[in-house]
Chains A and B, each alone.
Chain A
Amino acid sequence: MPVTDVAKDIDNRTITVTSEFAAPVERVWQIWEDPRQLERWWGPPTHPATFTEHELRPGARVKYHMTGPDGEVYPGYWDITEVEKPHRLGYDDGFADADGNPQESAPVGSSAVELVATDGGTRMVMTATYPTSEDLQKVLDMGMEEGITQAVNQVDGLLAA
C-alpha cells in the first residue's frame, strides 16, 4: 500500500496523509506540476477534474472544476502560497462560481505537500487543514464523494451504539 500513515487532528480539523512512491522526487513533482497528469488523479472516476488555469507560482491562482455523472460542474480554485520545486507546494482551497471566479467566502482550507527523497523513491506528506467543519464538508461535497457515504457511516454509528 502506498499510504503508510494517516493522522487526524479532530480539534484542528487537520488530516495528514503520508504515502511512499517508487519514483524519484522529480517524477512525483510532475504529477502536481503538469495539469494533464493532475487531472488523471485529482478527481475520482465519477467526478473527473479539469484544470483550466494552472501555474505553480506563489500568488498564482489555479482554476479547475470537477464534473459529475449528470454533468454537474463543481468549480474551484487554489491560491498558491508556497512553491519550492520539487519539494514543497502550499495552496489555499476555495470555491468558484460558474465563471471560475472565487465565491465571496474566503478560501476554505490550506494544504501543504512535501516530497522527500527516500531509499526507494519518494515520501509524500500531504497536510490539509480546514478552519471549520462546514468548510471541511464543503470540500467533500465538491463531487469527491457521494453525500450518501456519510449517511451510511452514520447508520454504522447507530449500529455500533
Chain B
Amino acid sequence: MTSDEDRRADAFFHALADTTRRDILRRVLAGEHSVSALAEHYPMSFAAVQKHVAVLERAGLLSKRRSGREQLASGEVEAIRSVTALLRELEDVWRGRIGRIEELLADTEPGTDTEKET
C-alpha cells in the first residue's frame, strides 16, 4: 500500500466507524438530502450532524453542493460502487430472493392442490 492508499483507508475506516455516519451515508446513497433534513433524524445538534457530514466528505464518501440557503449532500456513488461491486450486490439480492422462493415452494399452502409433496 502506498501512503496515499493508507490515508484513504484511514479516512474510510474512520468515517465508517460511527453509527450516525453510517446511517447518514445510507440515506445519502439513496438520494440527495439537505443537511438540515438529515439533522432531523438524529438526537443531536445541527452542528454535530454537520461535523459528521464533513467527516464523510473528507473520506470521499459524500459530496455537498449549495442550493440557496441549503447544503445538499449526496453519496459519492462512483467512489463507493464499481460496476463489479454493484453486480455482486445484485447477485446477493437475487440469492436472497431465490432462498425465499425455495422456502415459499416448500411451504405448501393449505387448500391448494398439491400433487407433489416433498
Contacts and interface: CB of A to CB of B under 8 A. Distances in A.
Interface of A: 2-3, 6, 8, 10, 13, 15, 17, 19, 21-24, 27-28, 31, 37, 40-42, 44, 124, 126, 128, 133-134, 136-137, 139-141, 144-155, 157-159, 161
B83 A10 contact: yes
A103 B22 CA distance: 28
B30 interface: yes
B105 A23 contact: yes
Contacts of A151: 12, 16, 22, 25, 61, 80
Contact of A41 (B13, B92, B97): B97
B51 interface: no
B47 interface: no
Contact of A8 (B81, B87, B102): B87
Interface of B: 1, 5, 8-9, 12-13, 16, 22, 25-26, 29-31, 61, 75, 77, 79-81, 83-105, 115-116, 118
B85 A150 contact: yes
A146 B89 CA distance: 10
A116 to B, nearest CB: 15
B98 A17 contact: yes
Contact of B89 (A2, A40, A42, A140): A140
Given A2-B98, A158-B12, A148 B105 contact: no
B84 A147 contact: no
Contact of B91 (A17, A40, A137): A17
Contacts of B79: 154
Given A3-B95, A8-B91, A10-B84, A148 B26 contact: yes
B116 to A, nearest CB: 7
Contacts of B25: 147-148, 151
